Amino acid sequence: MSVIDFSVPVHRSLQQRDLLAGVPHSALFVLVIFGIVTVYMAQLYWFLPVIIVLYIAMRILTKHDPFLLDIIFISITQDDYLLP
């Protein structure tokens, strides 16, 4: 018996990343919280188009690589240190 005899079809939805509105959950959460703070609490209504542009940019980046925004968040929050 060969390896092909034991193959099992795997659905594409099991291999793809779960996205919310086309953006990863953590990135959308940060954008929504940032939008609520600036538009609602600080009453900077002119910032709403900026948030929409940021959402479109995040969606385009996610379409090319679903893990890119998570990699950016990890690299921003990672401590900088030099090894001797």
* Domain annotation covers residue 64: yes
Looking at the 3D structure of the chain, how many domains does it have?
1
pLDDT of residue 17: 82
Residue 57 has a pLDDT of: 94
Produce one character per residue of 10-41: b if its CB has 16 or more CB atoms within 10 Å, e if not: eeeeeeeeeeeeebbeebbebbeeebeebbee
| Entry pTM | 0.73
- Determine, yes or no, domain membership for 73: yes
Q: Give 82's pLDDT tier (boundaries 50, 70, 90).
A: confident
In a domain, 14, yes or no: no
In a domain, 32, yes or no: yes
27 close to 73: Cβ distance less than 8 angstroms = yes
Helices 68-77, 48-64: inter-axial angle, 10-degree rounding? 110
Mean pLDDT on 31-57: 93
pLDDT band at 1 (very low <50, low <70, confident <90, very high): low
In a domain, 10, yes or no: no
